[in-house]
Amino acid sequence: MSEEPGFREQSDDDEELFEEIRRFLAEQAGDEIYEDIRAAFQGARSFINRELRAMEEYSRMIRTLERLVEDEFPGTFTGALRTRVAEMLYAYGLAHYSLLQQQGPVDVEVEPPAEEDDEEVNRPLVIYDLWFPQDIAIEHAEEGYYLHLSDGRIDLSLYLGTDPNDRGALVDLVDHWGYATANTPPGEYQPPGERITPVLTVELDYGGSELVDADDHVDILFLDHNGEPIVRMHARSNELRAIIDELQTIGHDGEI
């Protein structure tokens, strides 16, 4: 598990991002930056079509970008063309972000050249954001235990193994909770009265987690078995404590 990051002011994060953008622009020549952005753009568009287009959150973002386009160019674009421009802006933003993170195109389905076979595989973008989960539950199935975390939109079904700490999940979460308690406000956890029905379920075998400081809360990156970040959970110390309490309801005999 990676070392816990230090507590930083938001202005430091902004300056670091601006420095990355300046460095990125300084290192790119005209022809090179076109080829890089074109490849990243195609990869981002493929990723959007495959993973995001059916999500309501994506539709809301496109409608927001359409309003921005209309504000900047009143009456210039028709409805269909304005939507296409908005979709292009979103794909470009995703592509540019992937380049800034030195991650290359997002999941481009093209065979790499032979001479690049030995290069390190780039980490993908975090796909799903889980915001301050209020619905927390443990499921005991035949193959082991699942931790369900939901914010009402997304239900993360996290396979823990044959016991809550079979893959180190409980120890990792206790570490993350200790850091959040010492460095962020506690927040307020309100248990729901009944199970929330999510609009999307994400199933993931727990392969570890990493903590990222987010000023007034922490972000927990849940990794798959290859160590790739798949879900980013935004949480405060009280939500993490509620998760730990739920895990600790499982007795030593495996009963909940």
Question: pLDDT digit of tens for each residue in the chain (256 aa)?
Answer: 444 444 444 456 667 767 766 766 666 555 567 777 777 788 888 888 888 888 888 888 888 898 988 888 888 888 888 888 988 888 888 877 776 664 434 444 444 444 444 444 445 456 788 888 988 999 999 889 999 999 888 889 999 998 888 888 889 999 999 998 888 877 665 555 455 555 688 889 999 999 988 878 899 999 888 888 889 999 998 999 999 999 888 754 455 5
In a shared domain, residues 108 and 178: no
| Residue 1 domain-assigned (yes or no) | no
In a shared domain, residues 155 and 111: no
Instruction: Indicate the angle between helix axes 237-247 and 169-183, nearest 10 degrees.
Output: 150
In a shared domain, residues 87 and 140: no
Is the pTM here over 0.75, yes or no?
no
In a shared domain, residues 138 and 202: yes
| Residue 2 domain-assigned (yes or no) | no
**Structural domain that includes position 69:** 10-116
| Residue 217 domain-assigned (yes or no) | yes
Report the number of distinct structural domains present in the chain.
2
In a shared domain, residues 143 and 226: yes
Helix (H, G, I), strand (E, B) or coil at 141: strand
| Residue 3 domain-assigned (yes or no) | no
CB burial of 117-146 (b: ≥16 within 10 Å; e: otherwise) equals eeeeeeebbebbebeebbbbebeeeeebbb
In a shared domain, residues 15 and 40: yes
| Residue 140 domain-assigned (yes or no) | yes
